[in-house]
Amino acid sequence: MVDLRSLRRHEVFLSLKKDLAMMKEEEGRHNAAMKAFNVAEKRTNELKNKLTKVERDKKSVEAALDSVERQAEGQRVLLRQAEDQLAAYKGQIITLKKKLEEAKKARAQAEQDGYDVGVAETEKALRVRAEVLGVCRNYCLQKWNEAFNQAGVEASSVLRRAESVYYPPAIRASSSTSSKVVLTPCFATRI
């Protein structure tokens, strides 16, 4: 029995030693698992923090994108309005250019009409003046003839020639063909 006991003790000892080794191995695995768990938990926390930061950044970017899209839409609206105004201004410019051309034509026509009226009035005034001067010269000639008749001057006398008749300076015949009246002196013999 002693042998049995010692055998059993030895088996128990080996069994305990084996159990102890298994426990140490189990403890090592447990420690390794705890280390792995701690590393995984730390990594999980880091990833959670990164995820939180990324989500905040994503929300910030989405808000910025929304803001930029609203601004872009506002700019598109302003661009459309500016294009509409530009088209309206171009239409107004075309209309104003046409009116300017019409005004230039009307002005040129008015200037031409004014010139034509001035020419016509000047020609009429010159005709009237010529007629008045002619009437005045005829009157002077008649009066000279009456004076020669009363004085008894012969009809063939040099005094009765047309170039010998004295006309006052205001009704003397002009030798110029321009519109400016130039009076030329006429020498005649007085009786």
Per-residue pLDDT of 155-184, as tens digits, reads 888 888 878 788 888 887 765 444 343 333
Per-residue pLDDT of 80-98, as tens digits, reads 999 999 999 999 999 999 9
| Cβ atoms 144, 165 nearer than 8 A | yes
Query: In angstroms, rounded to a whole number, what is the distance separating the alpha carbons of residues 135 and 117?
Result: 26
Whether 1 shows a pLDDT value over 90: the answer reads: no
pTM for the complete prediction? 0.42
Tokens of 171: 């009704």
More confident residue, 157 or 68: 68
Q: Quick check: helix, strand or coil at residue 143?
A: helix
Mean pLDDT calculated for residue range 132-156: 88
Q: Where are the domains of the chain?
A: 28-171
Question: Cα dist. 188→22, 146, 179 in Å?
Answer: 170, 17, 27
